[in-house]
Amino acid sequence: MEGLLGLLPFAVVALLCPLMMIFMMRGMHGGHDEHAERAEQSRAPSADDERAAARLQAMEEEMTELRREIAAAKGVEEPAISRNGGRA
């Protein structure tokens, strides 16, 4: 009987490990549908994205105009500007 009591802690751990694994795996996969929904929403452009894109375009146009004005004031040719704003 004392021999069985000595094995009791090991038996409890051996039985709890698979149960804990089942609950943890279920918890990890439980939010899977919510994650897929968020990914779907992130693919569709929102009104904020469109406003940000329009604002970025306006800023790029303004930078181009300012570069032209600076070049004209210095009396040099207009510098070549790449799409990303760096000088070519």
Per-residue model confidence (pLDDT) at position 8: 87
Note the pTM of the prediction, 2 decimals: 0.37
Distance CA 57, CA 83 (A): 11
Distance CA 88, CA 74 (A): 19
Asked if residues 68 and 78 have their Cβ atoms less than 8 Å apart, the reply is yes
Q: What is the pLDDT along the chain (88 residues), one digit of tens a residue?
A: 777 788 888 888 888 888 888 888 887 776 666 666 666 666 666 788 889 999 999 999 999 999 999 999 998 765 566 556 555 4
Please report the pLDDT score of residue 80 as a whole number: 60
- Extents of the domains making up the chain: 13-44, 49-88
Q: Looking at residue 41, what is its pLDDT?
A: 65
